[in-house]
Amino acid sequence: MELNATRLALVRHGQTDWNLHDLLQGSSDIPLNDTGRAQAREAAQLLSDVRWDRIVTSPLVRAVETARIIAGECAVSDIEIDDALVERDYGGAEGITREEATARWGQDWPGEESYEHLMVRAVRAVDAVAQRYPGENLVLATHGTFIRAFTDAVVGAATIKPDNAHSVRFLGAPGAWRVTAGLNLV
């Protein structure tokens, strides 16, 4: 590993009932279902090749539960909640499908956070975590669109659509990240 480089695994939470029914969750606080818990255990198995120093998680219950399952399986005792890792806010579209939202409002959904804003916010959030824990191995339990936005900002193109409990790994430091594994190209 590069001297003083931080290793990151950004992990999308496991499945929820809203995922199962293709409902937009965003900042709505929806718990994992049984499939999501099993997916989190599978994600932990894939992460077990590294000794992780800590897990930092979004405050939303689906991410926190995913983080706790991974922590238990990977023997990580330090879990921190970070509000900045929260998912994109879909405003009035939360709780309905993307198709329903588009039929109702077109491309501009009331109260939706712009993707461009999310990209900037995601980079700031991940960089801030890495600045707090330079050179550590960190799991960030977060959300699909958040991970996509961060990866798009780092790679420079729309590159991934992470499945539930999928992880993308990075190595580097704030402002200088490179993807090392987990790109799920769209």
Alpha helices in the chain (DSSP H): 17-20, 34-47, 61-74, 98-105, 115-132, 144-155
179 residue type, one letter:
V
Provide the edge-to-edge strand list for the sheet that holds 79-81.
Answer: 79-81, 54-57, 137-142, 6-12, 167-173, 176-181
What positions carry a catalytic annotation? 13, 87
Q: Kindly state the tokens that stand for 54.
A: 């800590």
CA nearest neighbour of 86 among 144, 24, 136: 144
Q: Which residues are registered as beta bridge partners of 32?
A: 16
Other CB atoms within a 10 A radius of the CB of residue 38 amount to 15
Q: Kindly state the tokens that stand for 119.
A: 């990209």
Report the residue count for the chain.
186
